[in-house]
Structure 1
Amino acid sequence: MTPAPRAVVVLAVIALAALVIPLGLAALAALALLVAVLVDARAARAQPQVERQAPEVLSRGIPVKVIIRAHPPTGGTVRVRQATPPGLTVAPQEGESGLEATIVAHQRGRHTLPAVATRSTGPLKLARWDHRPGGDSELRVFPDLKTARTLALAVARGRFRDQGHTARGPLGLGTEFELIRDYQPDDDIRQVNWRATARLGRPMSNQYRLEQDRDLLLLLDAGRLSAAPLGPTGMNVLDACLDAAVALGFVADELGDRTGAIAFDQEIRTALSPRRKGGQVVARTFFDLQPRPLDSDYELAFRRAEGSKRALVVVFTDLLEETAARPLVEAVPVLSRRHVVVVASPSDPALAALAQAHGDPLSDARAMIATDVLQARAKAAAQVRAAGARVLEAPPDRLPALVVAAYLRAKARAVL
């Protein structure tokens, strides 16, 4: 229990009044104030009823609403405060009789949202009492599911854009004939059925669908290189890779393909065999995957993936420089003999900006170092390509769309 500001003000007034009124009268007033504070504190001691509506699952970087309602003791008031744990941002944090706040998760994994703290004030506004009604709750922070669902929906509706171009037809050209329909303005000229057009007197197109029941295998490097930060966003390499992997899995779910995944460093940490709706399983399984300070054994992971049926294998890792990429280069032939191999690596936008910044000696020095790092990445990527894999590099916000485009092209060309 603590005195409220009003009690402090009244006590100060009594102290000043003691200079001009009899001391006994001032003492009597102070005693009356003490009794009033105790009575008010007794009323404020009753624990308020608090209801908190908070989601159990969040996506990293996506704001969601948290609503807190508090019912104060009869005649009193209550102020609520929501503490913010590391990795989360809550704004605003305090409110009178309740709170409507926005919570944003900056780190994947499991987080604990502390119980709501309340401060009740009695009816006379003379005393306060602090409470912690309710308990802590667990929040699970997933990768960027919003982008993943947006890309999957765009592919399903034929509105997926790759570098400014709209995919032709509902799901791309594909190779399996489905039906003949009226020509649409965005149809590829190769889809036009000239015989049906001549017979019916209006433009007609063949509609093809992408093959289903193909396998997609996602290999996630969770070793020391994946812990590297990417600019000022607070993301690391593994965060960006998981965003792209989940987006790719959701698109595969939409197209009826099977998705599997392997997370590895020096050992196989988790392995999921290809399955229907595997993209959703990947999101639920790997949302709390964190990098470890260990060198990754690419050959071990590739041997584990080698025995599966022919698939598109997407390796998510960081192409730092030639020496670090050597184990990857040596292991790629293990997969490329049987599978289509793509190596996806997020680039650091801040590094590219530093390489372009000039004007003073310090900026020039930073630009020179950044240029050396980018050149080392380019040499590592060239070695991986020479080993038989396709290399995709893009900033974190563009990497999901880039790997989805590569997946759709592989399906359209029937290389799976």
Structure 2
Amino acid sequence: MKRIVKHTYLESRFFTILIGFVFLFIMAYQIPGWLPISIFLLTVFGLLVLTDTLLLFKQNGLQANRVLPKKLSNGDNNPILITLHNAYNFNVKLKLIDELPVQYQKRDFQILTALNKLSDKKITYTLRPLQRGEYHFGYLNVYVTSPIGLVTRRFQFGHNAMVPNYPSFLQLKKYMLIAFSNKLFEFGLKKIRSIGHTMEFEQIKDYVPGDDIRTINWKATAKRNQMMVNQFQDERSQPIYSVIDKGRVMKMPFKGLSLLDYAINATLVISNIALKKQDKAGMFAFSKQVSNKVSAERRPSQMNQIMETLYNLDTDFAESDFSRLYIDMKRYLNQRSLLLLYTNFETLDALHRQLPYLKAMAKNHVLVVIFFENTELHKLTQKTAKNTYEIFEKTIAEKFIFEKKQIVNELQKHGIQSMLTAPEDLTLNTINKYLEIKARGLL
């Protein structure tokens, strides 16, 4: 009995009819002939409520299951599947209320549907998580109403399910396809085979005008009695490091995701593409000190190690120490590498404080400084100013946008490659930059 009371709810139709009976009995005082009719109708109504309750609780008439993925992809739409089976001998109306994780702060989530007798149904909805970590789901509540529609029975399934939310692995396949097609480049570059001077020897060939005389193979020349040169190809297994600033400048959110999360998602994708391109992928993060290091390797478990490291990465709200970054890089990186540095500079003064260390890193490595446009400022400049205060706001916004462009010019002036990008375009632009550097043979 306790179970029935706990899971029984009265529909709005029940209260509407009950209010009708109140008016009917009030009128019965004025019209005595209506009293027996009112009592009879009330008795019929009570029997209908009892019948409705017995129909719903006679058997365990509904089965439901929430199918969760093994892990969620941060910043992407993740499908959640609900399977339903109606064991009742009549059609039912359903209201599904899934107790979503606390990260969503959503208390009005519900799905209305209907299910024919002795039939099955699948329902899919999507969740877009914006914070890495554990997501705990509560009960899947299913409220069942019979054709009578006076009483609702509640079923509860799948209590306390936990799914971890990882960096955006759903983007891996998407960008992998783009990276290995011809649709990525928009700046006129094409793939070329670059003749380099690395340790990877390819062949000995006849000398043609334009070949580097430093590659002449004198033994082969003496044997063939004609000029022969060594030909090399670019070494494939080159170290590609994603360097993530996890200081307070990366906490700024755009479209729900922080700059740090955009950088983490881009790191996961570019590491996967680098490995597929026969390069070595690695990463590390820094603020007051360098941490979360993954050495650049090409082993099969490299992507799993990078993903697990990125999963636990978070900002520490500290001022990032670029001098410590330079010292640790000089100590640990013995081979010339491509460094994709994800950080953010809002002003020229902020850049000038770190510029000596960036120049020092660029001497031994190919350094690409990646920082972000403030898309909210762009929206502000596109609005029409209606008063003096809005003119002032718009002018300040344009000043900050112009200063970002000055930062790019300042880095280029010192021979440091840079990329200014909107947060949502970070992954695609980073892949473009990586492929551009590979095509130009800069590494």
* TM class, shorter-length: 0.7 to 0.9
Q: Rate the CA distance shift 1:144–1:48 in 2: closer, same or farther, 3 A.
A: same
Q: Rate the CA distance shift 1:385–1:40 in 2: closer, same or farther, 3 A.
A: same
Q: What is the CA–CA distance in structure 1 between the aligned matches of 2:257 and 2:81, rounded to whole Å?
A: 27
Q: Rate the CA distance shift 1:351–1:144 in 2: closer, same or farther, 3 A.
A: farther
Amino acid at match of 1:320: E
**Residue 313 of structure 1 is aligned with which of 329, 335, 339?**
339
1:126 and 2:150 matched? yes
| TM-score, normalisation: structure 2 | 0.73
What's 2:96 paired with? Answer: 80
Q: Rate the CA distance shift 1:357–1:22 in 2: closer, same or farther, 3 A.
A: closer
Q: CA offsets per residue over residues 273-308 of structure 1, 9 Å max, x none?
A: 112264554344314533232212223333333222
What's 1:294 paired with? Answer: 318
What's 1:244 paired with? Answer: 266
What's 1:37 paired with? Answer: 49
Q: What is the CA–CA distance in structure 2 between the aligned matches of 1:368 and 1:384, rounded to whole Å?
A: 25
Gaps of 5+ in 2: 1-7, 116-120, 204-231
Amino acid at match of 1:263: A
Gaps of 5+ in 1: 180-207
Q: Rate the CA distance shift 1:304–1:212 in 2: closer, same or farther, 3 A.
A: same
Measure how far apart 1:259 and its partner are.
1.0
- Structure 1 residues 81-90 or 248-257, which shifts more? 81-90
Identical aligned pairs, as a percentage?
17
Contact 1:3 1:126 in 2 (8 A): yes
Q: What is the CA–CA distance in structure 2 between the aligned matches of 1:229 and 1:107, rounded to whole Å?
A: 10
Contact 2:131 2:257 in 1 (8 A): no
- Structure 1 residues 401-410 or 28-37, which shifts more? 28-37
- Structure 1 residues 96-105 or 311-320, which shifts more? 96-105
Q: What is the CA–CA distance in structure 1 between the aligned matches of 2:83 and 2:38, rounded to whole Å?
A: 42
Q: Rate the CA distance shift 1:84–1:167 in 2: closer, same or farther, 3 A.
A: farther
Q: CA offsets per residue over residues 346-400 of structure 1, 9 Å max, x none?
A: 2123323434555533443222111221233344445545565321111224332
Amino acid at match of 2:380: L
What's 2:391 paired with? Answer: 364
Which secondary structure state, in structure 2, belongs to the residue aligned with residue 352 of structure 1?
helix
Q: What is the CA–CA distance in structure 2 between the aligned matches of 1:311 and 1:82, rounded to whole Å?
A: 48
What's 1:264 paired with? Answer: 286
Q: Rate the CA distance shift 1:387–1:366 in 2: closer, same or farther, 3 A.
A: same
Q: What is the CA–CA distance in structure 2 between the aligned matches of 1:84 and 1:285, rounded to whole Å?
A: 26
**Residue 107 of structure 1 is aligned with which of 107, 130, 137?**
130
What's 1:325 paired with? Answer: 351
Q: CA offsets per residue over residues 64-87 of structure 1, 9 Å max, x none?
A: 433322334634634322344444
Contact 2:98 2:109 in 1 (8 A): no
Amino acid at match of 2:386: D
- Structure 1 residues 403-412 or 342-351, which shifts more? 403-412
- Structure 1 residues 260-269 or 41-50, which shifts more? 41-50
| TM-score, normalisation: structure 1 | 0.77
Q: What is the CA–CA distance in structure 1 between the aligned matches of 2:53 and 2:235, rounded to whole Å?
A: 72
What's 1:196 paired with? Answer: none
Q: What is the CA–CA distance in structure 1 between the aligned matches of 2:54 and 2:316, rounded to whole Å?
A: 53
**Residue 406 of structure 1 is aligned with which of 406, 423, 433?**
433
Q: Across the two proteins, how many residue pairs are aligned to each other?
A: 385
Which secondary structure state, in structure 2, belongs to the residue aligned with residue 165 of structure 1?
coil
Which secondary structure state, in structure 1, belongs to the residue aligned with residue 427 of structure 2?
helix
Q: Rate the CA distance shift 1:397–1:134 in 2: closer, same or farther, 3 A.
A: closer
Q: Rate the CA distance shift 1:164–1:329 in 2: closer, same or farther, 3 A.
A: closer
How do residues 79-228 of structure 1 correspond to structure 2 at under 5 angstroms? 79-85=95-101, 86-87=103-104, 93-97=111-115, 100-110=123-133, 111-122=135-146, 124-157=148-181, 159-165=182-188, 167-168=190-191, 175=196, 211-228=235-252
Contact 2:100 2:136 in 1 (8 A): no
Q: What is the CA–CA distance in structure 2 between the aligned matches of 1:228 and 1:383, rounded to whole Å?
A: 24
Which secondary structure state, in structure 2, belongs to the residue aligned with residue 398 of structure 1?
helix
Measure how far apart 1:139 and its partner are.
3.7
Measure how far apart 1:333 and its partner are.
4.2
Amino acid at match of 1:214: Q
Measure how far apart 1:58 and its partner are.
3.7
Q: What is the CA–CA distance in structure 2 between the aligned matches of 1:154 and 1:24, rounded to whole Å?
A: 78
Measure how far apart 1:415 and its partner are.
3.8
